[in-house]
Amino acid sequence: MAIYEVKNARPAPSSDKGIFRWILNNLLATPLDVAITFLGLAFIFWVIPPFVNWAIIDATFVGQTASDCTGGGACWVFISQKISMFIYGFYPHEEIYRVNIVFALFFVFVVLFKFVGKSFFQKVLIFSAYPVISYILIAGGYFGLEAIDTAKWGGLMLTLVIASVGIIVSFPIGIVLAFGRQSQLPIIKNLSVGYIEFIRGVPLITLLFMGSVVLPLFFPEGVDFDKLLRALIVITLFQAAYIAEVIRGGLQAIPKGQYEAADSLGLSYWQKMLLVILPQALKVSIPNLVGVSIALFKDTTLVLIIGLFDLLAMVHLTNSDSNWLGHDTEGYVFITFIYWFFCYALSRYSNVLEKKYNTDNR
């Protein structure tokens, strides 16, 4: 009986590997590919070198005033001089440390939440303590802290306040609306559907207009809502409809057997929904939940139109500073980077969450 020995595979022919082969296969495979590749390269050379020249090589990085910017490129001095306005708006200079504490506390609380909070109750406590402490620190008026009017809030700080309030407060409302839409009770179902479809059918800007001109008429004379509070209410109600639709998608992905199993265990409606269905539905909806949160973060810029000074509005405003005329581009490029960074980081984070909770046992 012949004994066969396993022969190792021969190495690939030298003509089939190496960087030239890769270029030939991936960039120059067909005549069309050659044309497209060269068009692409031409585009890159058309865009990148001028931008690098403008942003780095010809740019001015140090200085105090506009006259220090002698190079033909970007004047980053503008950004470094206005940075506190971009981040804190009109927040009084000597009180800025309070906002910085809030920023720093964010990381402290993330660590507390992840490593210190053991039980569900502790986690909820930590999660709800942060907004309260932040509010006290930023708004002031307690513990001898000077009260800062919300009209002075602005910049990145305001953007983050609006985005986080919008994302967090709308969440429970969205869950209730999603339950309502899936409910067997006709009145509750139709009310939820009507609300969700109405909000999703109109642009946020019309809702914000409504918040700023119509909402005050709905309350008795003397009840004076803060401008920021009105915007927050509108944005939260707006976001709740979108969250509801995302969670409804998750609820629909849960097999009917889960509902029946919960029923057969004798759980009540709320026990069934909160303990069995919702945790599974939330897991399925993570990517879309982060998606609508990113959308909201981008939509916070719309408060510019009703006269709040978020990050974008601050750039808009500093552009008209007579000492710094003609530096719009630097401002826009700078905040483009900030917005892009936050949104991209969130979308990466959603990938991490998705992997973490992907138990694949449905």
Q: Of the two residues 26 and 80, which places its CB atom closer to other proteins in the complex? A: 26
Q: How far is the CB of 155 from other proteins (least distance, A)?
A: 14
Count of Cβ atoms closer than 10 Å to residue 339 Cβ = 17
Count residues contacting other proteins (CB under 8 A)? 55
Nearer to other proteins, 98 or 248 (CB): 248
**Residue 226 is encoded by which pair of tokens?**
């803060």
Phi-psi region of 307 (alpha: psi -120 to 50; beta: other; left: phi over 0): left
The tokens for 212 are: 């700023």
- 21 is an interface residue for other proteins by CB under 8 A: no
Q: How far is the CB of 184 from other proteins (least distance, A)?
A: 8
- DSSP three-state, residue 153: strand
As a whole number of angstroms, the distance between CA 83 and CA 27 comes to 43
The phi, psi pair for 75, rounded to 5°, reads -110, 85
| Sequence letter at residue 258 | Q
Q: How far is the CB of 221 from other proteins (least distance, A)?
A: 7
Q: Which of 301, 317, 353, 354 binds other proteins (CB under 8 A)?
A: 301
- Whole-angstrom Cα distance, residue 177 to residue 48? 48
Q: What would the x/- binding string for other proteins be over residues 163 to 202, using CB under 8 A?
A: ---------------------xxxxx--x-----xx-xxx
Contact 331, 318 (CB under 8 A): yes
CA–CA dist 33, 11 (Å, integer): 28
- Report, in Å, the least distance between residue 28 CB and other proteins: 9
Q: What is the DSSP string of 60-99?
A: B-S-SSGGG--SSS-BTHHHHHHHHHHHHBT--GGGHHHH
Placement of tokens 């029946």 in the chain:
260
| Segment interacting with other proteins, rule: CB under 8 A, options 36-44, 160-168, 226-234, 252-260 | 36-44
322 binds other proteins, rule: CB under 8 A:
no
Q: Which is nearer to other proteins, 122 or 351 (CB)?
A: 351
Tell whether residue 332 is a contact of other proteins (CB under 8 A). Answer: yes
Q: Other CB atoms closer than 10 Å to residue 8's CB: what's the count?
A: 6
Residues numbered 204 to 223 that lie near other proteins (CB under 8 A) are: 204-206, 209-210, 213-214, 217-221
Closest CA to 351 of 313, 308, 294, 312: 294
| Residue 15 Cβ vs other proteins, minimum distance, rounded to whole Å | 19
Residue span binding other proteins (CB under 8 A) among the ranges 83-91, 144-152, 169-177, 295-303? 295-303
Give CA–CA dist 284/19, Å, rounded. 42
Least distance in Å: CB of 337 to other proteins? 9
Question: Cα 226 to the chain's mean position, in Å?
Answer: 24
Contact flag: residue 53 with other proteins (CB under 8 A): no
- What's the residue count for the chain? 362
Choose the binding region for other proteins from 41-49, 59-67, 79-87, 131-139 (rule: CB under 8 A): 41-49
Q: Does 359 bind other proteins (CB under 8 A)?
A: no
By CB under 8 A, name the binding residues for other proteins.
Answer: 26-27, 29, 33, 36-37, 40-41, 43-44, 184-188, 191, 197-198, 200-206, 209-210, 213-214, 217-221, 294, 298-302, 304-305, 312, 316, 319, 328-329, 332, 335-336, 339-340, 343-344, 347
